[in-house]
Amino acid sequence: MAAAQNTSAGHDEPLEESAARQKVAADSLTPLERAVIELEKRRFRYQGSKEQAIEKQLGLSPVAYYQQLNSMLDNPRVVAAEPLLMNRLRRHRDALS
């Protein structure tokens, strides 16, 4: 019975460590990286509304925004902070090329 408890505890530990690492990684993001991530989490209903939000909220041109986003997709620190979103965006980028 004790072996089963150790096995169970062993499975919980990596999840807790993973969550802790993700929190530390999220704390290390720059304000611009956080803003880009928040913008990427949003859904935009109308054509051009995302580009307007990029310019209004971040003060970047759409080209500069997408250059920033592309560099974030290749940054392990950013991927560690938001793995699901970054991996989804990375798959989308890779499918286009």
What is the pLDDT at residue 97? 79
User: Of all residues in the chain, what percent carry a pLDDT higher than 70?
Assistant: 74
| Burial profile 54-69: b = 16 or more Cβ within 10 angstroms, e = fewer | beeeeebeeeebeebb
DSSP assignment, residue 44?
A: -
User: What is each CA distance from 62 to 4, 21, 45, 95, in whole angstroms?
Assistant: 54, 31, 17, 21
Average the pLDDT over each of 2-6, 13-17, 18-22, 60-64 and give the range with the smallest value: 2-6
Q: How much is the pTM?
A: 0.73
